[in-house]
Amino acid sequence: MSALKEEEIFLKKIEEETKIEPKDWMPEAYRKTNIRQISQHAHSEIVGTLPEGNWIGRAPSLKRKLILLAKIQDEAGHGLYLYSACETLGITREETINDLHSGKAKYASIFNYPTLTWADIGAIGWLVDGAAIMNQVMLTRTSYGPYARAMVKICKEESFHQRQGFESLLVLSKGTTEQQQMCQDAINRWWWPALMMFGPKDSESTNSDQSMKWKIKRKSNDELRQNFVDMIAEQIKFLGMKLPDDKLKWNNKKKQYDWGEINWEEFWNVIKGNGPCNFERVAARKKAWENGEWVRQAAVAHSNKSKTK
Ligand code: 3HC
């Protein structure tokens, strides 16, 4: 069958909302952009466990420690899920991980910020996982089958992550003055980096146009970001905390919040590798990969041995 005919069938499937499956013909650019996005999503899940792991030994109670451990285990599982979805596109795990270590592949900029207090762990669960859910619910309808299906389980677990983060901050917001200040400080520090998770402005998004055409993306960066602001602003009020942006005000005419401008210079700077923790995050991942070499060798040896039986 000619490539033209194949492309026609592919585009018809996209139009009819039929999922594209690994064995289907797809444009090389469709394969590449899915590898790009899914692998970076997977890297984000794994790197995202580092700032949280920093507080396992310092959780304020056994209950909080258990919740944090469960969340971190979930995130690692999300990463493995997404790496597996990526492999269905013909890239090996080794190549994907090497792209992260070499700096060729990105991960969510938000994970390059430090977790300075316990309230940061609540803010990450509530704001970061909240933003991730906003995006990932949309991705349950992405056109590439394995990616869409991976999102269903991931979204269910992210909802637990967001709820526990909010509940943790709710306790602090009703605590001592010092705990309330800690809660407010975390919201102030994590607010703008959380908005950056949705990507650059639509006008500067290099991938969105084509991703929307191929229904990889169903909503634009700015649209998802606005939905997130409209939802979270109300929750900050429920916490009794001050809004972290003095331009954040409800616009009754537009029926949405107006808000200030993201520091796009900071956004691109962190993505370029100049964030507070970029170096240590990638170094930690490289060390984990090296330390895990023996486990991978043992697993391969074991599977070869069982094949020869
Ligand atoms: N951090 C790092 N890089 C970012 C970024 C961010 N917050 N936002 C955008 N970028 C990069 C893009 O990857 C792209 O670079 P590339 O072409 O080299 O990949 C460039 O900036 C331009 O951005 P675009 O808008 O053109 O890129 P996309 O169309 O891919 O949109 C996205 C960006 C919305 C992040 C999209 O890639 C996406 O939906 N990814 C899947 C979701 C995801 O990765 N979420 C990350 C968080 S996962 C998480 O938080 C774990 C949770 O459990 C806590």
User: Tell me: the pLDDT tens digits for 215-227?
Assistant: 999 999 999 999 9
Residue 211 has pLDDT above 90, yes or no: yes
To test the ligand 1 pocket, which listed residue (207, 216, 221, 267) has its Cβ within 8 A of the most ligand atoms?
A: 207
For residue 305, the model assigns a pLDDT of 87
**Tens-place pLDDT, residues 31-76:** 999 999 999 999 999 999 999 999 999 999 999 999 999 999 999 9
Per-residue confidence band for 205, with pLDDT thresholds at 50, 70 and 90: very high
Residue 5 has pLDDT above 80, yes or no: yes
The mean pLDDT value of the chain amounts to 97
Report yes or no: 173 and 240 within 8 Å, Cβ to Cβ.
yes
Instruction: Say yes or no: CB of residue 75 within 6 Å of ligand 1.
Output: yes
Length, in residues, of the chain: 309
- In the reported structure, the alpha carbon of residue 25 is separated from the centroid of ligand 1 by a whole-number distance in angstroms of 25
Q: What is the mean pLDDT of residues 195-201?
A: 98
Say what the alpha-carbon torsion angle 230, 232, 238, 242 is, to the nearest 10 degrees.
-100
Q: Show the tokens assigned to 74.
A: 């979930």
Cα–Cα separations (whole angstroms), residue 192 to 14, 36, 248: 35, 25, 12
For residue 306, the model assigns a pLDDT of 83
- In the reported structure, the alpha carbon of residue 224 is separated from the centroid of ligand 1 by a whole-number distance in angstroms of 13
Q: What is the mean pLDDT of residues 272-300?
A: 96
What residue owns the CA closest to ligand 1's atom 33?
Answer: 199
Question: How many Cα neighbours within 13 Å face the side chain of 6?
Answer: 10
**Tens-place pLDDT, residues 227-236:** 999 999 999 9
Per-residue confidence band for 8, with pLDDT thresholds at 50, 70 and 90: very high
Per-residue confidence band for 243, with pLDDT thresholds at 50, 70 and 90: very high
Per-residue confidence band for 4, with pLDDT thresholds at 50, 70 and 90: confident
Instruction: Say yes or no: CB of residue 35 within 6 Å of ligand 1.
Output: no
User: b vs e for 66-81, b when ≥16 Cβ sit within 10 Å of the residue's Cβ?
Assistant: ebbeebbebbeebbeb
To test the ligand 1 pocket, which listed residue (32, 34, 37) has its Cβ within 8 A of the most ligand atoms?
A: 37
Q: Which of 123, 101, 121, 148 is nearest to 282 (CA)?
A: 101
For residue 276, the model assigns a pLDDT of 97
Per-residue confidence band for 2, with pLDDT thresholds at 50, 70 and 90: confident
Q: What is the mean pLDDT of residues 6-11?
A: 96
**Tens-place pLDDT, residues 247-264:** 999 999 999 999 999 999
To test the ligand 1 pocket, which listed residue (104, 106, 124) has its Cβ within 8 A of the most ligand atoms?
A: 106
Distance CA 64, CA 56 (A): 9
Q: What is the mean pLDDT of residues 79-103?
A: 97
Instruction: Say yes or no: CB of residue 189 within 6 Å of ligand 1.
Output: no
For residue 208, the model assigns a pLDDT of 97
Q: What is the mean pLDDT of residues 138-165?
A: 96
Instruction: Say yes or no: CB of residue 218 within 6 Å of ligand 1.
Output: no
For residue 179, the model assigns a pLDDT of 98
**Tens-place pLDDT, residues 104-137:** 999 999 999 999 999 999 999 999 999 999 999 9
